[in-house]
Amino acid sequence: MRPFLDSSASAKEWPLPAKDLTDLDLFTRGFPHALFTELRRYEGPLFHPATALTPGGEGFWVVSRYRDMVPIARDHVAFSSESGGDREGGGTMIEDLPRAVGVGSVINMMDDPRHRALLRLVAPGLTHAKIAALEPVLAEAARVAVADVLTRGHGDLVKDIAAELPLLAIASLLGIPAQDRHQIFAWINAVLDYADRQLGETSQSSAQAMQQFMAYGQCFVESRRQAPGEDVVSLAVTGELRDGLGRLSPVEQLMVFNVVMVAGLETTRNAIAGGVLAFIECPEQWTRLREERTLINPALEEILRWTSPTPYNRRTATRDVEIGGRLIRRGEKVTLWWASANRDEGFFERPFDFDVGRSINPHLAFGSGGHGCLGAQLARLEMRVVLNALLDHVAGFDLAGDVEWVRSNKHTGIRRMPVRYTPAPSHPIQRNTAAGVSEGSFSSLGST
Ligand code: HEM
């Protein structure tokens, strides 16, 4: 029995000493669900001690259960996204980020009232109408991408489909020149890639990519200053925060560009790729969805719950506070593992069943509370158009090789996924093949 309100060493004991959540090798085959299932057996937050791999040599609390997580995510006073205690830096990752790289100036690592005022300033750039207006462009792009892969019959789903749609959506939303989008994506990949480094470390390639990405962002922000539009960056550059909080500093303006690009691209790509992988592993759910297209919205929510592309975010306690019978001290780091909450058997029925018909699904893939995802509706739209394009023409999928996961505990991502497609009987490629027309003749479909 664990002692209550006791912050002694025994109460803080980590129950799985051989498992280190800062060892990125734990995350090379997707999110370690078995490990978190084990952690959820213990009541209350658990204290993860510092290991040789833990940045800053400092342990952190791990919250794995749904019901412990939501009150923390909603309490922005006791649990800061910015900092707490006597620490200099802070932020929402296990490692403390310095203030120079965004803590206190990027929306997701900023506390109220400035956070709330910034949210209100940029929200008109992501209204329902603005997002809905993207639908025809995205739907056409998805149709072309699916037609193209069906022509070939196989390919890397991440490159062919999952990466392309989010890029197009964000580029269209911000007005980024189409020819720049792949370069930006390459920089972001390098910044988020931990293949050649440990947590909290920078490699030469990640530092270089960050520098180039920031330089591009600065030029983009400047272009919006010269000729503002109605996008989030223009609003950040030209607008003023309410309640006399003034205008955004140049760093805050740049960070609006950065966060939309970084938060919007990788996550949605991973939701799309992870969703297709779920259908490959549960083909009966694909057949069911093709037969019952009205399940498309519950299916999207189930993909989000299942894939949880952002596995965790961190907060810092601003005062001593009790959660689930544990005493969390002022200044301590607290990590909220959304991906674990989304499989919590104490909250969800049959959490390990991927079920497109799940009717009650208040998952935490987009977080919870005032920092909940600003791009959730955009992400849902992107996922829906891809899913619809696939449902229209694909009867099923198989893996044509190994899935390559991103080595990261901050993004549950798929870097490469070779897939073989079975076209639907109604699809032109099937009809043409049946009529004796070669598959190659289908290749022009993508360009019409
Ligand atoms: C499936 C795709 C996505 C997932 C899983 C996801 C996940 C999340 C999560 C978990 C948070 C909460 C962070 C925290 O509490 O510390 C968040 C916040 C945020 N997301 Fe997303 N996101 C997605 C797509 C997007 C897109 C497309 C955009 C860009 C338009 C975006 C922009 C943001 C921003 C700006 C925040 C910070 C909001 C705030 O602090 O008030 N996200 N997202």
> pLDDT (tens digit, 9 = 90+) per residue, 288-336?
999 999 999 999 999 999 999 999 999 999 999 999 889 999 999 999 9
Q: Considering only CA atoms, which residue is closest to atom 35 of ligand 1?
A: 374
CB 247 within 8 A of CB 225: no
User: Which residue shows structure tokens 């897939």?
Assistant: 419
* Cβ–ligand 1 contact at 144 (below 6 Å): no
Ligand 1 centroid from CA 128, angstroms:
16
Ligand 1 centroid from CA 263, angstroms:
6
Q: Over 70: is that where the pLDDT of 430 sits?
A: no
Report which DSSP code applies to 95: S
* Cβ–ligand 1 contact at 310 (below 6 Å): yes
* Cβ–ligand 1 contact at 267 (below 6 Å): yes
Q: Is residue 429 very low, low, confident or very high in pLDDT (cuts 50, 70, 90)?
A: low
* Cβ–ligand 1 contact at 81 (below 6 Å): yes
> pLDDT (tens digit, 9 = 90+) per residue, 103-139?
999 999 999 999 999 999 999 999 999 999 999 999 9
CA nearest to 266, candidates 317, 341, 314, 213: 213
Best residue for ligand 1 mutational test, from 366, 377, 387, 406 (most atoms within 8 Å of Cβ): 366
Best residue for ligand 1 mutational test, from 260, 373, 385 (most atoms within 8 Å of Cβ): 373
Closest-lying ligand 1 atom to the alpha carbon of residue 315: 16
**Cα separations in angstroms, 26 against 36, 196, 407:** 12, 15, 8
CA nearest to 338, candidates 37, 1, 69, 145: 69
Q: How far apart are CA 287 and CA 293, in angstroms?
A: 10
Beta partners for 422?
Answer: 396
Ligand 1 centroid from CA 2, angstroms:
35
What fold characterizes domain 24-447?
Answer: Cytochrome p450 (1.10.630)
CB 68 within 8 A of CB 45: yes
Q: Considering only CA atoms, which residue is closest to atom 34 of ligand 1?
A: 374
Q: Considering only CA atoms, which residue is closest to atom 3 of ligand 1?
A: 267
* Cβ–ligand 1 contact at 64 (below 6 Å): no
Domain boundaries, the chain: 24-447
Percent with pLDDT over 70 in the chain: 93
Q: Which two tokens stand for residue 388?
A: 């619809």
* Cβ–ligand 1 contact at 371 (below 6 Å): yes
> pLDDT (tens digit, 9 = 90+) per residue, 352-368?
999 999 999 999 999 99
* Cβ–ligand 1 contact at 268 (below 6 Å): yes
